[in-house]
């Protein structure tokens, strides 16, 4: 009877110990799970904050660039039209006064067009294809270099926020080509590849050695901006043979 009692006591003690161990394990798992939830929430909050910060910076940059463009248009274009209108309207000749009125009508149209660019509503209205065509047309119209554009229109359905990021990244890539590459030709191609939409920006300029770390933070900023919309940027370049940049975004 004593041995049987010892066995029962041992089983009770063992069961209590195992129950305590299981309870401790469960509590530890719950605590660990909650810690991971908190960490995940913090990561999500950080990503959201970084995304909103990126969009705000991009909006400010685009608005600043727009104001600069508006200033140039007011000085070079509308200012000249106003001077011509004044000269013609001050003339005693009816035909000159008629020309002056035509200049006034043209000025009104130009001012209306400029007013639309002072906010970012144009981002929603313009397609990626049309935006890229405008950018390439501006480059080619200056006589800087030739441009080519080919698109399957796969980027034309983007949210305003994603489009903002893509617009600024493309602008920066083109600006870098103009400033540093001195190309004879810039080509942009839009296409699909597997589950990705891609934009190739290719120039035949001087190129550079990608193994040499750049002192600037330009490419790092572009990578971060693409990452905020779930995209990526890949750059390849060879001295004397140009630069090839690929922007990728999942469907």
Over 80: is that where the pLDDT of 202 sits?
yes
Encode pLDDT of 206-233 as tens digits: 999 888 876 666 788 899 999 989 999 9
Mean pLDDT of the chain: 85
Q: At what angle do helices 160-176 and 218-228 cross, to 10 degrees?
A: 160
**Would you state the torsion angle of the CA atoms of residues 29, 34, 38, 43, taken in this order, to the nearest 10 degrees?**
40
Taking each helix axis from N to C end, the angle separating 79-89 and 94-116, rounded to the nearest 10 degrees, works out to: 160
Domain that holds residue 216: 126-251
- Half-sphere exposure (Cβ direction) of 198: Cα atoms closer than 13 Å: 16
Span 41-58, mean pLDDT?
Answer: 73
pTM for the predicted model, two decimal places: 0.67
What DSSP string runs through 187-244?
EEEEEEETTEEEEEEEE-S----TTSPPSS-HHHHHHHHHHHTTEEEEEEEETTTEEE
Those residues whose C-beta lies under 8 Å from the C-beta of residue 169, and which sit 6 or more positions away, are: 222, 225, 226, 233, 247
Domain membership of residue 64 (yes or no) is: no
Specify the number of domains making up the chain.
1
Alpha carbon distances (Å) from 44 to 38, 225, 230, 231: 10, 16, 14, 17
Residue 77 tokens read as: 């274009």
In a domain, 236, yes or no: yes
Q: How many CB atoms lie within 10 A of CB 149?
A: 15
Residues above pLDDT 70, as percent of the chain: 90
Q: Is residue 95 part of a domain?
A: no
Average pLDDT rounded to a whole number, residues 173-186: 93
Residue 145 covered by a domain? yes
Residue 15 confidence (pLDDT): 75
Residue 34 is assigned to a structural domain of this protein:
no
Q: What is the CATH number of the domain that holds 188?
A: 3.30.565.10
Residue 233 domain flag: yes
């Amino acid at each position: 009877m004593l041995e049987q009692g010892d066995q029962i006591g041992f089983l009770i003690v063992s069961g209590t110990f195992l129950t305590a161990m299981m309870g401790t394990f469960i509590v530890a798992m719950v605590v660990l799970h909650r810690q991971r939830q908190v960490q995940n929430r913090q990561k999500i909050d950080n990503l959201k904050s970084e995304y909103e910060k990126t969009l705000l910076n991009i909006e400010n940059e685009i608005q600043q660039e727009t104001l600069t463009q508006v200033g140039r248009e007011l000085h070079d274009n509308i200012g000249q039209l106003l001077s011509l209108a004044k000269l013609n309207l001050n003339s005693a000749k009816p035909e000159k006064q008629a020309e002056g009125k035509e200049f006034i009508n043209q000025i009104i149209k130009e001012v209306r067009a400029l007013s639309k660019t002072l906010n970012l509503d144009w981002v929603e209205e313009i397609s990626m294809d049309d935006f890229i065509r405008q950018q390439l047309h501006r480059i080619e119209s200056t006589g800087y270099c030739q441009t080519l554009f080919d698109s399957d229109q796969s980027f034309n359905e983007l949210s305003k926020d994603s489009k903002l990021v893509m617009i600024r990244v493309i602008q920066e890539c083109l600006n870098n080509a103009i400033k540093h590459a001195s190309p004879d030709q810039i080509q942009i191609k839009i296409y699909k590849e597997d589950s990705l939409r891609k934009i190739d920006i290719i120039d035949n300029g001087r190129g550079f050695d990608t193994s040499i770390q750049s002192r600037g933070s330009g490419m790092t900023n572009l990578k971060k901006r693409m990452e905020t919309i779930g995209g990526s940027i890949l750059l390849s370049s060879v001295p004397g043979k140009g630069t090839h940049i690929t922007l990728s975004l999942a469907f």
